[in-house]
Chains A and B, each alone.
Chain A
Amino acid sequence: MSSGGKGKAAMKRDKKDEEASGNIYANLDKTSVLQEARAFNETPINARKCSLILTKLLYIISQGEQIGRTEATEAFFAVTKLWQSKDANLRRLVYIVVKDLSTISDDVIIVTSSLTKDMTGREDIYRPAAIRALCRITDTGMLQTIERYMKQAIVDRNGAVASAALVSSTHLMKKSAEVVRRWANEVQESVSSDNHMVQYHALGLLYHIRVNDRLAVNKLVQKFSKNSLKSPYAICYLIRIAARLLEEDDQADSAIFTFIESCLRHKSEMVVYEAASAIVSLPNITASELSPAITVLQLFCSSPKAALRFAAVRTLNKVSIKHPNSVMSCNVDLEKLISDSNRSIATLAITTLLKTGRECTVEKLMTQISGFVNEISDEFKIVVVDAIRSLCGRYPKKHTVMLPFLAKMLRNDGSYDYKKAIVDTVIAIIEENPEAKGTGLAYLCEFIEDCEHETLSTRVLHLLGREAPRTNNPSSYIRYIYNRVILEKSKVRAAAVTALAKFGAQCVDLRESIKVLLKRCLLDSDDEVRDRATFYLNMLTTAPPTVISNFLLDGLQVSPSGLERAVLEYLRGNSFASPFDLKVVPVTSQPLSQPQKRVPTIDEALEAPKPAKKEPYAEKLAAIPDFAALGPLFKSSPRTALTESVAEYTVHLIKHTFANSVVLEFDCKNTLNDQLLLDVSIEVEDPEQEWTPRLSIPIQKLPYGEAQSSYIVLDFPDSGSISGTLAATLKFKVMDVDPTTGEPDSEDTYDDTYVLEEVDIAVSDSVQGFSKTSFNPAWDALTDETEREETFQLSSVSSIPEAVKKISEILGLAPCERSDRVPEGKTQHTTFLSGIFRGGFEVLAKATVAIDPHDNSINMNILIRSAEQVVVDLVVSAIV
């Protein structure tokens, strides 16, 4: 702490000094500095004064000041005058200014000749800096004129010159790779330089020159792995190349691995760590190959150097995802690190331990954590909470330990993010583990009694409305919810009213009391709360069960952008005689607002969440005028291949279903560089003569390497069939072209065809699955008049989860209430499926799968209901 005291003393002195002499850089202003730069034009040059001005200029650039193009160019031209000075310090600053201004100033190439002169001059102190500045301002054309000097510089005996040339060449690889490749011999020569950094830079550049030639890279690794390298940086780099070779090649030379392993015994810690970290990240590594690396990392865990401890723990943390058992031997060392003064190290140690911890050690670990959890920052606590969450996923039985622990953390003070992480975790545990539901909900109820964050309250209330009515004793939760209606702000009150209504909708015996409570809300001061109460009260009193289940329990299952477009079209149509029909809006399997999954901080920091795709095809199709009459898009199938991936022409199929037609989109790609395809179309033929193409849109021109789409429109046949198998052939005219230029050799063309795989149109193309949050009320709302029951044996699958997945795929229905999760070891399981049939008809199904313990055969009984008999029959036709 003495440094802190010293710091304060220094600060005092500093302030005094600044008052007296003033920190010249403290309040610099861009205009005045540029103004001062005019002094560069004076003769003779005052080196000291000019150095100071240049430093000021560099200082304001390093502070992030933006300099305009004109200003920069003006300053740049002034700076060029300074070449007349012989002052070394000034000259060195000039090179840096040239580099910094090179991107923002015009005509920087005017200094080329001055720099070339310095680069080849006798002053060793100028040469490296001149090379770096010159390579920064040069372009491919100019580079050829200095090529000779660059080659000389690369093999120069002065390490600084060689390094500067090599590093600059590495930068140049991006824009003038062809020229730099010609210097390979010189680069190779300098790998054996005595200077450590030159070795490193030369090896790096050599690898980038050879990177596309696998054989050459192999040779390179073999050559230099035989102890010719002295620089630890170069060896680290060689390990990286070797590791990449092993990653990319399954049958890689075993000598490469031996080399990496031998580096574990190198005298430099840097190399040892690099080797260990390379070994643990290799794919398909065995436990015995892993153990020496783990031992090294374990040793590093007790190093006095924080960077080394950090590196070791971070690597162990990474390994623990794939090979938790191998890391277990380090658990004792990791436990010591929990109390490390460096927070990053302690966090990594905790998360690693939580990943490798066995079920029996969980309690011990939790006591350890609770010992220090109050002393750490919120940010760190969130990491701990995330780790607990992943542990709960692995050992669901341990919720009896975890939930009270989380509840205790929830009671303590903390920021919103911290509380949110805990609530997220509790909700995740409840959702994943039905056994924990009762306890978890009780803790959350207690939490909202005294919660200062509205968002979290509404979240918990929403969850209560969804989950609590299905528990054994729903009435016990109503008190907590109604308390919110009395005590909270309007936003929370509104959410509480909705939650109450959900109880009323699902628990018929509680409905009367709920109505009483809702009536009290009618006099609320807030519009939204009153509106909701009135709406729900009305629904609960008068609406039939179907309407209640549709409108109270299930959210709006439409795609937001689709809804926006449909409403817009309706308003533009200006004919309000017919009401807006929600059925024309495309449905989506994703809920209207999806809670973001928060990524646990440390371990998955690199994996950015991908944004959900929204109606990727709707816009593309809407741009084609022929499809305007088809109505809104109902569903697009996943992209499937109709050819081998290595075929001359590759074709992928996407099926778009509309109300009365199917559009087949064929993504065609030409992979032959000596052919230009013209009039590319696809011919489909139905052997049963039911499906006939109404319209075909060919591709006019398909050059090499491009992918374009051809379309076919099929109407659903009058016979009522909704499935079929069609033979498909690619038809086109070929024009031979020159592979390098793409210019046609002659105007002659010839016809050709290419047979594709068959196109299947299935029942699932007419069904859009979406998962209902409460299945049973919706099921009961549909009468059993239209019900169909089928029982059959499944021969193609061997396990219950597989059967559940298959049936939902075949029918195109989505599983509800997470009923697709099959508990392990069960011999019988019922899945609830739901979806919408083309035209807006709801389809529900209950599928019971059972496995026969004697012969492991799988039987399935399925019940399907819908409002329309025809729809049920059509869906059943998919499986029988």
Chain B
Amino acid sequence: MLGFFRSFYCTNDTTCEEDSPNIYYQKESTSQRVIQEADSKVEPYNMGNFDNDPTSLYSVKGIVILDQDGNRVIGKYFDHAAFGTTKEQKAFEKSMFQKTSRNSSAEILLLDGVTCIYRSNVDLYMYVLGSSRENELILESVLNCLYDAISTVLRKNVEKKALVDAMDTCILILDEICDEGIIMETDPQAVVQRCALKGDEVMFSDQSFSQVGMSFIESANKQFKWSLLK
């Protein structure tokens, strides 16, 4: 009887249609694993309500800076529900980078229900991620602040090498712009001021003309030496 029953079962081709039962169970087990992973994770300090409550102050899901190969230079995620594990974060960064590196003029992208606003310069890609219900212009103001603050600190030399050299200041900038997803400050001047700068990192605008001239000559000198060495 059971033998008959088996072949009877096989006649039902709906099983071949999309998900055979086996695949279905496999899927279930992966989702279970994800849940276990989430359980074993350290309880994050603060779970902001990013997506559902329109009156939530938590508007930035994450700020990421990637290099030209899509590797993370600095990154901070605030939405622990959507980006709980490093694996999820890396996967998201990968697909985000694939979509943005080819078309760098586009500036904005909707990916998996996350609004990604970005800006690139030389070998750096800066992203601000927000919920899809969030006002895009608010997110854009965060990105502009990030870019301008970093640009001021790096003396308009926004590229990976310079950023890595000023890593500590850039970490401070990120911290000043956003606290656990709440936007702290969007004025780049204020952000730069609040980051305790080392003595030699004076802002470009504050330098006297002669200083600018000096540093210009100095860098020209370096360039010259460099070309001789080649």
The 5 A-B pairs at the shortest CB distance, nearest first, are namely A64-B86, A88-B196, A306-B107, A342-B106, A311-B136
Task: Choose among A7, A269, A348 the residue that contacts B122 (Cβ–Cβ < 8 A).
Answer: A7
Cross-chain contact A273 with B135 (CB below 8 angstroms): yes
Find the B residue at minimum CB distance from A580.
B1
Which residues in B have their C-beta under 8 angstroms from that of A10? 122-123, 159-161
A555 touching B55 by the CB < 8 A rule? no
Beyond A25-B164, A103-B45, A307-B117: 7 further Cβ-contacts under 8 Å?
A6-B122, A7-B123, A96-B172, A270-B137, A343-B99, A458-B13, A560-B21
Q: Mark A590-607, 1 if CB is under 8 A from B, else 0.
A: 011101100000100110
How many pairs of A and B residues are in contact by the CB < 8 Å rule?
Answer: 251
Complex contact A344–B106 (CB within 8 A): yes
Answer whether residue B32 sits at the interface, using C-beta atoms and an 8 A cutoff. no
Tell whether, in the assembled complex, residue B137 and residue A128 are in contact, meaning their CB atoms are under 8 Å apart.
Answer: no
What mask results when residues 36 to 64 of chain A are scored 1 for a CB within 8 Å of chain B, else 0?
00000000000000011011001100111
Task: State in angstroms the CA–CA spacing of A6 and B104 once bound together.
Answer: 14
CA distance in complex: A401, B92 (Å): 38
> A551: which of B11, B105, B107, B194 is its contact (CB, 8 Å)?
B11
Q: How far is the CB of A689 from chain B (nearest CB, A)?
A: 44
Q: Which residues of A have CB within 8 Å of B186? A: 197, 233
How far does the Cβ of A719 sit from chain B's closest Cβ, in whole Å? Answer: 36
Cα A170 to Cα B168 with chains together (Å): 27
Inter-subunit contact B113/A341 (CB<8 Å): no
Q: Is the CB of B160 within 8 A of A491?
A: no
Complex contacts, A208 vs chain B, CB 8 Å: 55, 57
| Cβ–Cβ < 8 Å partners of A207 in chain B | 55
Chain B 12-26 near chain A by CB (<8 Å), digits 1 or 0: 111111111100100
- Cα–Cα distance between A462 and B198 once the two chains are bound (Å): 71
Given A207-B55, A342-B107, A555-B14, A171 contacting B46 (CB threshold 8 A):
yes
Stretch at the interface among A238-246, A253-261, A786-794: A238-246
Q: A54-B168, A270-B137 are in contact. Are A593 and B15 (CB under 8 A)?
A: yes
Q: Which residues of chain A are within 8 angstroms of B44 by Cβ–Cβ distance?
A: 103
Q: Chain B residues near A128 (CB, 8 Å)?
A: 194
Could you tell me if A314 and B110 are in contact, using CB atoms closer than 8 angstroms?
Answer: yes
B16 touches A25 (CB 8 A): no
Which A positions have Cβ atoms within 8 angstroms of B? 3-4, 6-7, 10-11, 13-14, 17, 23-25, 51-52, 54-55, 58-59, 62-64, 66, 88-89, 91-93, 96, 102-104, 125, 128-129, 132, 136, 159-160, 163-164, 167-168, 170-171, 174, 196-197, 200-201, 204-205, 207-208, 211, 233, 236-237, 240-241, 243-244, 269-270, 273-274, 277, 305-308, 310-311, 314, 341-345, 348, 455, 458-459, 461-462, 465, 491, 494-495, 498-499, 501, 528, 531-532, 535-536, 551-552, 555-556, 560, 579-580, 582, 591-593, 595-596, 602, 605-606
**Contacts of A528 on B, CB cut-off 8 Å?**
10
The contact of A125 among B68, B106, B196, by CB within 8 Å, is B196
Closest A-chain residue to B87, C-beta based?
A64
A58 to B104 CA separation, bound complex (whole angstroms): 29
Of the listed stretches B72-80, B148-156, B204-212, chain A binds B72-80
Set of chain A residues within 8 Å of B45, measured between Cβ atoms = 102-103, 136
B54 on the A face (CB < 8 A): yes
Contacting pair A580 B2 (CB below 8 A): yes
A605 to chain B, nearest CB (A): 5
Of A132, A342, A531, A593, which is within 8 A of B17 by CB? A593
What is the minimal beta-carbon distance from A875 to any residue of chain B, in angstroms?
A: 27
In the complex, are the beta carbons of A592 and B15 less than 8 A apart?
A: yes
The closest CB in chain B to the CB of A269 belongs to B137
The docked-state distance in angstroms from the alpha carbon of A197 to that of B105 is: 30
**B12-A556 in contact (CB<8A):** yes
Distance of A52 Cα from B166 Cα, bound (Å): 10
In the complex, what residues of B have CB within 8 A of residue A167's CB?
A: 57, 179, 182, 184
- Complexed CA–CA distance, A25 and B163 (Å): 11
B46 to chain A, nearest CB (A): 5
